[in-house]
């Protein structure tokens, strides 16, 4: 079944997806959903239909993800609207969900659609205290590990944005981190 779901998502029904996205735009930015839309992708990334595992749909605005201008208070000398180029949209989505669901841990995420204004992602969350999760061999390490993987930049999307997927030979300055490399004396 997963094979056919994967094939179906390679060429999705444009009309149905457009209607769904129209509905998603009208609703809240972060919504908990009953089941994942892309079941094959979710299962690949660790989703299990059990208590303690939650799927959340999030809408993220597209367009360079610039930092906004300060509208009150002490302003800097130059009011630059800098682009935040160090994070990708998926990482931003994971961080927003992690802040809203602070009693859960981000497992992974995937894109379910995009239109002219927004990206839509589904984020898989795991409860840190559910006994079903703590007794699961695959999911227990995420619940027992130090908290806030998404905010510490160690989820899959964050590692990709930080350049940690490439080999150390191709990207020598990203390990142990960009900041650590710049602080290292010559």
Per-residue model confidence as pLDDT tens digits over 113-154 = 999 899 999 999 999 999 999 999 999 999 998 999 999 999
Domains held by the chain: number: 1
Report the b/e string of 69-107 with b at 16+ CB within 10 A.
eeeeeeeeeeeeeeeeeebbbbbbbbbbbbeebeebbbb
| Residue 75 maps to a domain | no
| Residue 72 maps to a domain | no
Considering the entire predicted model, what is its pTM?
0.85
pLDDT value at residue 125: 96
CB 132 within 8 A of CB 122: no
- The low-confidence residues of the chain, meaning pLDDT below 70, are 65-68, 78-84, 185-186
Find the CATH number of the domain harbouring 150. 3.40.1120.10
CB 94 within 8 A of CB 109: yes
pLDDT value at residue 175: 82
pLDDT value at residue 27: 93
Q: Which domain holds residue 116?
A: 2-64+82-183
pLDDT value at residue 150: 93
DSSP code for 139: T
| Residue 131 maps to a domain | yes
| Residue 32 maps to a domain | yes
> How far apart are the C-alpha atoms of 103 and 158, rounded to whole Å?
20
| Residue 46 maps to a domain | yes
CB 90 within 8 A of CB 109: yes
pLDDT value at residue 53: 95
| Residue 42 maps to a domain | yes
| Residue indicated by tokens 């009011």 | 79
| Residue 48 maps to a domain | yes
| Residue 76 maps to a domain | no
Phi-psi bin for 132: left (phi > 0), alpha (psi -120 to 50), beta? alpha
* Sign of the torsion formed by the C-alpha atoms of 146, 147, 152 and 154: positive
């Amino acid at each position: 079944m997963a094979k056919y779901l994967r094939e179906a998502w390679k060429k999705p029904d444009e009309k149905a997806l457009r209607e769904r996205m129209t509905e998603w735009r009208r609703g809240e930015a972060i919504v908990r959903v009953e089941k994942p839309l892309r079941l094959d992708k979710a299962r690949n990334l660790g989703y299990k239909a059990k208590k303690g595992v939650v799927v959340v749909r999030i809408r993220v605005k597209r367009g360079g993800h610039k930092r906004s201008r300060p509208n009150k208070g002490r302003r800097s000398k130059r009011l630059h609207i800098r682009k935040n180029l160090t994070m990708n949209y998926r990482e931003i989505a994971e961080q927003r969900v992690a802040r809203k669901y602070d009693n859960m841990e981000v497992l992974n995420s995937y894109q379910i659609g995009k239109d002219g204004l927004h990206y839509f992602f589904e984020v898989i969350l795991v409860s840190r205290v559910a006994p079903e999760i703590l007794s699961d061999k695959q999911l227990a390490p995420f619940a027992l590990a130090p908290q806030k993987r998404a905010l510490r930049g160690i989820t899959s999307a964050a590692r990709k944005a930080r350049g940690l997927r490439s080999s150390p030979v191709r990207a020598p300055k990203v390990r142990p981190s960009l900041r650590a490399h710049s602080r290292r004396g010559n």
